[in-house]
């Protein structure tokens, strides 16, 4: 069989692959875009878009239950129609996917192949009965939920972040195993939908990559809503009990018995079934494709973008990977992965916005630093909205004034964080923030005030 020849092959129509196809075809290249499941990848189908749509429904239910706090009366108890919530989620997610499919169909010189791509050689892949070859191949294969080999896990039905999207009944008791970002978003939203929720985390605290004060505040927020949180779980195992699922987590403590169990214990890259060995592409011990600072793999002519390269596990890092690759290939602009500043959000309510270094990382670096902090109880906008949980914290270099990092846990924290992030990209010192005039009333207006009140980091 003779191979069909293209200028470029992109494996995976996710948040880096699809826009790259757009740029390459606009530059006159012929592109084969291969997708084995759903166009849009994790973000559109099982990640950001559907989950944040559900978070919005959960927030509406929560706010309705608090109506009396705002002097608003309701004629009866607040109800939740979970099938309607799922239908709304499916509609929003489906519209996004459909939009991407329309965009791809309109790209001149782009051919979309549906199927599983496997390498035959360094420049040739097979998709079903089709053999495709190109001098440039781009991997955008994403990742999936990790399912550790825990005792009894194969003997019980469990959910992952993906299968949660297909759930059409509201759990009476959802047991969430894992205490990080995905797990906590699901825990809070389902509690607000009306489920009993238990969170079990092996580590000594939730969101272990955050500072201890941030982790403690997040746990308090969840517990204030009636979510049972167990950390330091040293003996996690699963078993069926009648119609339920028992999750043991610590010796001497009774198991959590739920109607449903969600495993949210990390992610693994989708690289184990691509035939990368036949192409000679190097992967690390965890299966991530090894790339350099411009996302080139160990094989000339092959790049890796998004979750499969281990350089970030977010839609925004995947899209930035596309921008880096396109800039180097098409714009003579030598952008690099190391140019970007770590930034992300946790979409519990109130949300956490994070950028740069944590306090723990700054201390570990040994540099002299300054820190400023303010609780949301002293932020006028938060008080006015009746949402005063959380706080803001800014870190700066004591010698140079460089802004080192920021955490904003509070209303609008996922948006307000960009006030600091953009200054960090501009390499502006903390004094620039301190002298800025922000709009009142707003959560962000307190950032300059905090910048004026910095104290040495102990």
Catalytically active residues are 440
Scan for tokens 């502006």, then name that residue: 428
CA 236/CA 247 separation, integer angstroms: 7
At residue 233, φ and ψ (nearest 5 deg) are: -70, 115
HEC letters along 168-190: CCCCCEEEEECCCHHHHHHHHHH
Residue 232 region, left (φ>0) first, then alpha (ψ -120 to 50), else beta? left
Burial class of residue 273, CB neighbours in 10 A (0-12, 13-18, 19+):
exposed
Contact assessment for residue 187 and residue 197, using Cβ atoms and an 8 Å cutoff: yes
Contacts of 63 (CB under 8 A, 6+ apart): none
Helices (H), 232-385: 276-279, 315-330, 359-365, 380-385
HEC letters along 201-259: CCCCCCCCCCCHHHHHHHHHHHHHCCCEEECCCCCCEEEEECCEEEEECCCCCCCEEEC
The SS3 call for residue 144 is strand
DSSP symbol at 154 = G
CA 219/CA 229 separation, integer angstroms: 7
* Cα separations in angstroms, 111 against 3, 14, 34: 14, 15, 8
Secondary structure (DSSP) of 415-458? HHHHHHHHHHHTT-BHHHHHT----SS-GGGHHHHHHHT-EE--
Closest CA to 409 of 454, 375, 450, 383: 375
Closest CA to 352 of 405, 299, 284: 405
CA 178/CA 266 separation, integer angstroms: 8
Contact assessment for residue 350 and residue 375, using Cβ atoms and an 8 Å cutoff: no
CA 179/CA 205 separation, integer angstroms: 8
As beta bridge partners, residue 269 has 143
């Amino acid at each position: 069989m003779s191979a069909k020849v293209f200028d470029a092959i992109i494996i995976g129509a996710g948040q880096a692959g699809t826009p790259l196809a757009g740029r390459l075809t606009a530059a006159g290249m012929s592109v084969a875009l291969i997708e084995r499941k759903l166009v849009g990848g994790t973000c559109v189908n099982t990640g950001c878009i559907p989950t944040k749509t559900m978070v919005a429904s959960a927030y509406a239910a929560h706010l309705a239950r608090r109506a009396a706090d705002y002097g608003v009366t309701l004629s009866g108890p607040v109800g939740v129609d979970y099938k309607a919530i799922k239908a709304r989620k499916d509609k929003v997610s489906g519209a996004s996917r459909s939009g991407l499919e329309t965009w791809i169909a309109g790209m001149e010189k782009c051919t979309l192949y549906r199927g599983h791509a496997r390498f035959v050689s360094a420049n040739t892949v097979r998709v079903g009965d089709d053999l495709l070859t190109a001098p440039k191949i781009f991997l955008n294969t994403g990742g999936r939920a990790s399912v550790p080999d825990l005792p009894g896990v194969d003997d019980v039905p469990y959910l992952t972040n993906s299968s949660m999207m297909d759930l059409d009944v509201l759990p009476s008791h959802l047991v969430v195993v894992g205490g990080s970002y995905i797990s906590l978003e699901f825990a809070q939203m389902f509690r607000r939908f009306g489920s009993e929720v238990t969170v079990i985390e092996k580590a000594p605290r939730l969101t272990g990559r955050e500072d201890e004060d941030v982790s403690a505040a997040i746990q308090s927020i969840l517990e204030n809503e009636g979510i049972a949180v167990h950390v330091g779980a040293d003996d996690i195992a699963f078993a069926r009990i009648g119609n339920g699922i028992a999750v043991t987590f610590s010796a001497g403590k009774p198991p959590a018995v739920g109607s449903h169990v969600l495993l949210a214990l990390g992610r693994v890259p989708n690289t184990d079934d691509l035939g990368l060995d036949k192409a000679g592409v190097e992967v690390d011990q965890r299966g991530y494709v090894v790339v350099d600072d411009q996302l080139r793999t160990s094989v000339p002519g092959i790049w890796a973008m998004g979750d499969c390269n281990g350089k970030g596990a977010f839609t925004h890092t995947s899209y930035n990977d596309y921008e880096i690759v396109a800039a180097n290939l098409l714009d003579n602009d030598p952008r690099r992965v190391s140019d970007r500043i770590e930034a992300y959000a946790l979409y519990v309510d109130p949300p956490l916005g994070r950028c740069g270094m944590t306090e723990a990382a700054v201390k570990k670096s040994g540099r002299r630093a300054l820190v400023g902090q303010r609780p949301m109880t002293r932020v006028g906008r938060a008080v006015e909205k009746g949402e005063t949980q959380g706080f803001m914290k800014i870190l700066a270099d004591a010698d140079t004034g460089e802004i080192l990092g920021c955490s904003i846990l509070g209303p609008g924290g996922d948006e307000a964080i960009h006030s600091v992030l953009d200054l960090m990209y501009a390499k502006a010192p903390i004094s620039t923030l301190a002298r800025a005039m922000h709009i009142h009333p707003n959560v962000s207006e307190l950032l300059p005030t905090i910048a004026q009140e910095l104290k040495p980091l102990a």
